[in-house]
Structure 1
Amino acid sequence: MLFHRSTTLAVFLSLVKVVSGNGLSMAIGATSNWGCSSSQRSSTPSSTRSQCSGSGDFLCGFGSSSLCSSPQTRTTPSGDCTCPLSGWDMHKTAKVCIPTTEVSQCDCGEGYSFSQSSLKCSQNTGSCSSSQWWHERSSSCCDNNWQPDQGTCPSGSGCPTDWYWHKTYQQCRPQTPRSPEPDCSNWNSNKMCCGGTTTPSQGSGSGSGGSGGSGYGGGSGYGGGSGWGGGSGNGRWAKRDVDLRRKSQLLFPQTDLDKMYCPGNLHACSILTSSNSDEWAYECIDFATELESCGGCASTGEGADCTSIPNAMLVGCESGVCAVYTCQTGFTANGT
């Protein structure tokens, strides 16, 4: 028989709107929440809000205005609308760039910056000639059609995708203004290359095991102990918790949205708040064990509500799959 405590955490929208350099303060891999604030939402026309009723749709906030980002409102950017390289489209009517997901990167390319006034990528300006473009990250000018003196990277070093090793500068340089930001985990901003000791990427982490546990979920919920970390369950149950968390991380890796709102290996599912039917919040859920969102967010149809299985009496969620342990009188499980 399996019992567990559902651990949820409501997180209200927190907006980041500082954009500079070639994206978000030029921080490599930085993501931002482009969702609409409550004040923007309240002033958004009902006709715009009604466009965002589908799964994955959201209101995108820019300044004092908001736009609906949905498959129906987005299209491929046209020639006069330069948008970030990945995860962005053009709004069909406003003719500006909008993200396809609420939490996303904003990488316009090494020679561009995202303008919050035009809501497009604009080419950087610097003290360069008309045949060059300004590279903010290296504070140098790059030729538009150069054929640089390329060399071989020193041992232990390398260049990011669409970058090359410049033999004269002894640094990596982007091939074009639209070359993406460095995509290596060991980027050296002083030497302008990928090299040195690899830095582990920031991802879903969990508290350590042991009898006491630490961090999120160290001894909580499933295996005895209580609270978010620092629980007092015994070592056997703590080890079981660690095994469950590791398995959950493999089956259901966190997305950028999950990492922004939820600790450990939990996942963010959108819910309507009880105080305001037009205000959204996030609930942090373990897809591997949560009865009402087993295997994914039940609110979006990706997961299942195991408690709604007809004629089932005792149910569980095992590794993201609903399991029926006992049925109501007169019924038997059919194995599906």
Structure 2
Amino acid sequence: MTLITPFRICFLLFTIAQPLVASTATQGSKNCSEKEFWSKPNGCCLPIGGPQTPPPPPPKGTSCPPTSHYWGQKQGCCVPRYPSPAQGPFPQCRKGWEWNPTVRKCLPAPTPPSPPPSTPSKHHGHNNGYNDHNINGSHGSNYGHKRRSNHLKSRSISLCPSGLDGCPISDVKAGDYECLDTTTELESCGGCTSLGLGQDCTAIVGAWNVGCDQGHCAVYTCSGGFRRARDGKTCIPL
């Protein structure tokens, strides 16, 4: 007959309790409500679809992936609106920005070094042998820049290079616009969204990575809890 000493009873109770404690701690860290999901990189529960009120803009010099993230004031980084896709790519930043997984935010992409300026050819009849004007006869005009002001909309659009559309910039003074290639522009795909045309691909619900292909939005990857539609244009909740 085996005797159970008080010491052995305490040992057995401790052994049984250990898995229960571990299980409770694990579940407690992921005890999110029905309207939340657990974000492992941030170590907290986040609201599904993002906050009900508009989140604050990211700090200067920082950006968030417009399709899938917003700035988390409490977390101090960009947080996802939906769970991250399993083994998915990095979230998609705006043009000119790159995702930094360490700080979980978009940072300005390194600017490649510009080639050295070419030496202008010499022409007879000009001082020092150089021409004072640009080749196209203009004085410092630059067609690639944003925010061109002009009171006549038709004239401002005509100033864009061939193949680009002049889209008004809604958040600046009237008359300013930017020249966009609406066949590839994510936020004005197929037309200027500021004029009620085209589509903002970054606004597709549940999208993680998107593109604008010949003026049509294309979803490449959906967030966790979504799947790509058969036409590849939207994400369908599971």
TM-score normalised by structure 2 residue count? 0.38
Q: Which has the higher helix share?
A: 2
When Rg is computed on C-alpha atoms for both structures, the one with the higher figure is 2
TM-score normalised by structure 1 residue count? 0.29
